[in-house]
Chains A and B, each alone.
Chain A
């Protein structure tokens, strides 16, 4: 069976969930060979093996942390040469997409970004994409070279599929361009203790209707009662009520959880673009005409300052 390269997104050896989802999809089109780079690369192997990686190619060098994107492109190009895979898959993060694009250009291949599903096809993998703010779905394939495809988080279930996961050192020689963009400082994001927005099964969001940074505690309380991540509309972010990292929508994060709860959000097209593929959608809004109600499975027309705390109490009571 053909091998499929899977780029591993990890933090010091801790594999992030979208990579495990990628392994599920990779197994549909071939045998997953994972590529893990940078600090802690070898520590990823056990988790990757549990989820189907037959091999884990690893390489660590300070260049991966000290320079932007290009060292990783060099490494993926080396892996592509070593393996001659049937496809190369990346998580659809900002960095994942940039590495994927430059790799595709170098190896003379077409690229598809932001797939939400992947199947094997007669002429190579077929990717499903959700476009125009999720109002259309398309099926596409790469028609030249080795398909390079980036996949959005929550596009597949994480599955246990034990495989060998043999660690092999990847040999990489960096190109002259690898050190072009220096990373001169790095401030890690502080953990909130809540699930990662793009990975969460439930997302509770607040918009302009929340009316102030201090009121976001109401949204957070509901999120915590459900074990959910917190999201925000751009209006709430622009007003400075919540960090931009929590913005949902076209220029924020794109989420696809099992349950999305929009509070005081009107449902503008750019917001929908980031949440329309959620499985179940619920909204609380005092305006019965708000476009968000066109999307909902369940909606409450009412003041969020009454409805949300009551809901939070009820969730807590029911969960005991």
Chain B
């Protein structure tokens, strides 16, 4: 039987752009170019490798996001994913992590899955909690933050490098996995891949397709509230000296003046 892999990918504002907030204190997604979160490229890469090693597998990429999020799906398709699902609905604006996990879980169930692969964190929200939340909602094992992953005979195995120890993990499918940027470089889309992606199916679902009520998600449905945002004051310009042979000593003098030595 075919191994059904769903990869969750997020469309995020470019981190090297001038990211800021909109008037309603949500992330401004209009003024900065967006792209497939770099950290989700690692998830796509591992999905493709697992699919290549399996006898028969199908990789679906799934995103929840605005119209432009199709760009992220297109990129993942050109890397080699087979098909894509885009959950798009005006009511999604301002959804928090808890709400996002609801939409993802419903969409993953509707798509059908044996293995879900996510990135370690989104590069805009950087919470790193959505995979754990999706696992909780789906009621399947969470095998997260892996720097190495493999699937064999209905079992997923991987290595999780934590602060105190490096752990070997194991769970039966179906399961939710997330992979770190240590899991292996993501491939670049080939010209052939880019051309092929244009013909691959992209389905669009809205909230009614997923039986989700507007109150459950969006800014109104969020269980957290941002009350204020402030740009961090620019650091006051520091002292910069050119090393003319005494740079290390000058630096020591500075550290001493600040009581570090």
The answer to whether A and B assemble together is yes
A residues contacting B by CB (< 8 A) are 11, 68-70, 73, 93-95, 97-98, 100-102, 104-106, 109-114, 126, 130-145, 177, 180-189, 202, 226, 244-245, 250-251, 258-259, 269-270, 273, 276, 280-282, 284, 288, 293-303, 306-315, 318-319
Chain B residues with Cβ below 8 Å from A276 are: 232
Q: Mark B128-147, 1 if CB is under 8 A from A, else 0.
A: 11001101110111111101
Contact A298 B129, beta carbon cutoff 8 Å: no
B residues contacting A by CB (< 8 A) are 15-16, 19-21, 25, 39, 96-98, 101, 120-121, 123-124, 126-129, 132-133, 135-137, 139-145, 147, 157, 160-172, 175, 180-182, 222-232, 235, 238-243, 245-252, 254-256, 258, 260-261
Contact A250 B126, beta carbon cutoff 8 Å: yes
A241 to B: closest C-beta gap in Å: 15
Q: How far is the CA of A280 from the CA of B236 in the complex (A)?
A: 11
Chain A residues with Cβ below 8 Å from B97 are: 101, 111
Closest to B229 in A: A138
Q: How many A-B residue pairs have CB under 8 A?
A: 256
Contact B247 A136, beta carbon cutoff 8 Å: no
Q: Contacts A102-B133, A295-B235 given; indicate if A137 touches B229 (C-beta within 8 A).
A: yes
Instruction: Pick from B20, B128, B170, B251 the residue with the most CB of A within 10 Å.
Output: B251
B212 to A: closest C-beta gap in Å: 15
Contact A104 B98, beta carbon cutoff 8 Å: yes
Q: How far is the CA of A83 from the CA of B226 in the complex (A)?
A: 27
Main SS of the interface on chain B?
mixed
Q: Contacts A114-B127, A306-B243 given; indicate if A314 touches B249 (C-beta within 8 A).
A: yes
Instruction: Pick from A93, A101, A134 the residue with the most CB of B within 10 Å.
Output: A101
Q: How far is the CA of A138 from the CA of B231 in the complex (A)?
A: 9
Contact B248 A307, beta carbon cutoff 8 Å: yes
B225 to A: closest C-beta gap in Å: 5
Contact A280 B258, beta carbon cutoff 8 Å: yes
Contact B261 A97, beta carbon cutoff 8 Å: no
